[in-house]
Structure 1
């Protein structure tokens, strides 16, 4: 049997090492060229050394390193697509499983496997990575490594993203969950933009570490109670955690949930995201919001609901309330933003509120919509961040006030901006509409009032997206933008596939739903059965009293 998941993890990991080695091999040549230019500029002195774009062999080396990174990302995409074509949508449970002892003394295994939800999220990451590389090809030309180090970090992050979605051992999941912080920290702090990038990177790291340490306590608790880290032996009605006391399950649930809520992020632990997005390069923001944040909502489905079903009923309404606050609060703050990167980040806080609302509504339609929303949000927000990145590359600013009338000088860029924005507000015919509609229908069956409050977020989405488009793309063109260039071929290749996917899955989402539905049915069945049992027990105790 071909170890598809191991190959999908190993390919980008090997690529990261290879690209980093290529980048380091060219560092001496880059340093020499940099120093010589600095000496010439200062009359032979060496007190002032400024960053310059690598020249000669260094530039060639950086280009070769980036080409190698792009090749590894395409190879990973090919492996993931081949695996997806072999996925049996009619079978339940995990597929492509591998289990090997890793640390026998502590019962830790290298165990991987995917259900439909994990599969579509791995596909999402595999699609976004090469597109991000294309979009970021010239972003770091002014650095001594020509951006090769940034591309190596992207590949390292991709290996960990695939690993975290594929992990079927709770401890292995935790390792990937924490390891993702390392490349992201450097992608923001070293390769970000603005004077606040170091502060934003540290804030991201601290928030994530706090959540991770809380989850580590819960992971240890799971092993103490269940006697194993293997997810297949822990989850479900017949799993090792099925008979634990409700009070203990509540505490373990809470340990995982806090970490996932920070990662998602949900209100009120969301404040790291706008800062991180503002200080990030657009490509980093695409992976951060498009994929990494989905680890939080994926974890809620896979671990919170399936490992601790007896605790679910205690958290349904608190999480629903937090989700509704996130939807409305994120949308209102997005309206008031002057920075496009922060605006998109706040829209994502609102969108993640829809996802968590769908998860904890505990209806099949709502959870299917939430899982589909994770994928569609990645495509839509990824396209929006990339287009904003193209604007920043041309104008050097993310401030909305620095733009206006762009559609007159760059109509193709404005058109792409409009389609990506309309996808962000869930226009019918584009992919996010299907997922948002399913969430609202499923939530209405759960509680009509919650659905009505959530609709407020839909109305506000039209306001913040269309107002941003109006202020940047329409009206008179300032003289400083008169020479703004339209999309080039590389940029079209970077954003074009995302627009195509938004249209295809907006018109025909069934392939994604076919993969997602069996996993959702299992999760809903576990959650509703246990919630019913808990409610029944409570009612019986009340009757006896």
Structure 2
């Protein structure tokens, strides 16, 4: 069942090849239906998942390289299940974003890239083998390189795609060396076998640093975040949604699954360093975002702050904070994706993302303004939203571990409220700047239908967070 689930997006490519390239409507309709089928298959897996078990479930081994007795293993635990649900939820949304995509010759290519990327991500989250995870971790770069480089919106898109590719590729080379070192030590790269591994102190620290650098760049952690704002600005809206919604979570997922669970002593040893960089990242991102004039850069830098807070929770040595970090991962994937969609709506209508050209939108775009204010408030962790639950759990769990980090993190939360309210006030209220924007169109039915599930999930997990707690508390292997 799990193997079929991970390759199901790839199976959708073959019917696309038989649809005429010029028939964009049929390509989009089929792609949307197939992505919803993948989402439904993931929901079915949810019913097969036993949250009372602490073991990996639906384990399946695929024989490969029998000369070396090497098998590829796939399995689910609660964290990977939540990440696959987030992934399969975002891809239909990205296809709906492309409903007005007018490049006939490239529509089918776009959908094929989407399905390839979705299959890679699902397999990465379900993988129980370090080497396979590394290959898939690197393989996500190719579809994203194409999405930004081919379908990007501005002239610097080639530079942005190379920044994303080179930063992640070179930062992961040490992780590959560590995986080969572990294979030489144990004779396997199976995750379950490696959790029982006892390494000497120096080897464990070297492996931890190698894995951490790879995942910190993907996260991205300050000061390895330079590629993220550039990639967001040049990516199309669907690329920004995937980048913020799920690809950044691949880094935090790797830190929880591998750094925290395999190298436990090294994680405790390096936690003060992580606390320092996390605190700096939260403050830096919150201050730097106040200087930005590009709407996408504002949300991008706010993502740096949120991911730094997640990093703080992961290495807090507190179960409450780790649960909060997982909750915030899920919440950030929903709220930041919605904000990028709303900014994409403005860019599609007016061909600019510079703040000074927008003012008084509440008078001419009331639906847009309602969604934008709601998601901005969720982004600053308003009570009753899912972000609030995640941030509070992180801060409460970290308080007894490192009080000063909590002080800086709380200051970052206050600053995030400042820039979120400033942004909403700047573009929504005041006099309409009709000189910059000649005509205004509010959200249409497709855009409202696209944003409504994000809104409902934001408040649903904020009011009923026990669903996430229940899964994480009992359905996690470590």
Q: TM-score, normalised by structure 1?
A: 0.85
Look up the match of 1:500.
456
Are the aligned partners of 1:153 and 1:183 in contact in 2 as well (CA < 8 Å)? yes
Distance 2:423 2:3 in 1: 43
Mapped contact 1:409–1:483 kept (Cα < 8 A): no
Return the match for 1:430 from 359, 380, 385: 385
2:179 is aligned to: 219
1:395 lines up with 2:330 in the alignment: no
Q: Per-residue displacement from partner, 1:2-51 (whole Å, max 9, x unpaired)?
A: x1x222211111223543x257x52xxxxxxxxxxxxxxxxxxxxxxxxx
Query: Which one of 121, 131, 139 corresponds to residue 179 of structure 1?
Result: 139
Alignment correspondent of 1:38: none
1:518 is the counterpart of 2:474: yes
338-347 vs 303-312, which moves further: 303-312
Q: Distance in 2 between matches of 1:102 and 1:192?
A: 38
Looking at structure 2, the residues matched to 6 and 137 of structure 1 have their Cα atoms a distance apart, in angstroms, of 30
Match of 2:191 in 1: 231
Inter-partner Cα distance in structure 2 for 1:103 and 1:403: 58
Contact kept in structure 1, 2:194 and 2:262, CA below 8 Å: yes
Task: Supply the distance in 1 between the matched residues of 2:281 and 2:176 (Cα, whole angstroms).
Answer: 26
Residue matched to 1:96: 58
Corresponding residue of 1:133: 95
| Structure 1 segments unaligned to the other structure (5+ residues) | 27-57, 524-545
C-alpha separation in 2, matches of 1:509 and 1:482: 44
Q: Indicate the residue corresponding to 1:255 in structure 2.
A: 210
Query: CA–CA distance in 1 between the matches of 2:206 and 2:475?
Result: 25
Are 2:18 and 1:63 aligned? no
Partner of 2:443: 487
CA deviations over 1:307-328 (Å, ceiling 9, x no partner): 1123122211111111111111
Q: Which residue of 2 aligns with 1:163?
A: 123
What displacement does 1:149 show? 1.6
State which drifts further: 477-486 or 280-289: 477-486
The partner residue of 2:4 within 7, 32, 37 is 7
- Report the CA distance shift for 1:182/1:18 in structure 2 as closer, same or farther (over 3 A): farther
TM-score w.r.t. length of structure 2: 0.97
1:146 deviates by 5.1
CA deviation digits over 1:464-483, x for unaligned, max 9? 11111111111101124463
Say yes or no: does 1:373 pair with 2:373: no
Which one has a bigger Cα radius of gyration? 1
1:206 paired to 2:166: yes
Q: Which runs of 5+ in 2 are unaligned?
A: none
Greater shift, 205-214 or 295-304, is seen at 205-214
Alignment check: 8 A CA contact 1:108 1:172 kept = no
- Find the aligned partners of 1:163 and 1:343 in 2 and give their Cα distance: 32
1:191-242 deviations in whole A, cap 9, x for unaligned?
011000010001100001112222111111111112101111111xxx2x2x
User: In 2, are the aligned partners of 1:164 and 1:173 still within 8 Å (CA)?
Assistant: yes
Deviation of the 1:254 alpha carbon: 1.1
Provide, for residues 37-82 of structure 1, a one-character-per-residue CA deviation record: whole Å limited to 9, x for no partner. xxxxxxxxxxxxxxxxxxxxx2xx1221121111111000000011
Contact 1:110–1:172 (Cα < 8 Å) also in 2? yes
Q: Distance in 1 between matches of 2:354 and 2:111?
A: 27
Structure 1 residue 401: deviation in Å?
A: 1.2
What residue number does 1:534 align with? none
Whole-Å Cα distance in 2 between the matches of residues 107 and 331 of structure 1? 50
Paired residues of 1:125 and 1:161 also in contact (CA < 8 A): yes
Q: Which consecutive aligned stretches of 4+ in structure 1 deviate over 4 angstroms post-superposition?
A: none
Q: Which residue of the other structure, out of 338, 358, 363, is the alignment partner of 2:313?
A: 358
Aligned Cα RMSD in Å?
Answer: 1.4
Within-5 A mapping of 1:316-465: 316-465=271-420
Identify the residue that residue 535 of structure 1 maps to in structure 2.
none
Q: Is the 8 A contact 2:35 2:91 kept in 1?
A: yes
Structure 2 match to 1:296 = 251
> Within 2, Cα distance between the matches of 1:408 and 1:107?
67
Number of residue equivalences: 477
Distance 2:66 2:428 in 1: 59
Measure the CA separation in 2 of the matches of 1:266 and 1:86. Answer: 35
Contact 1:359 1:370 in 2 (8 A): yes
CA distance in 2, matches of 1:216, 1:509: 37
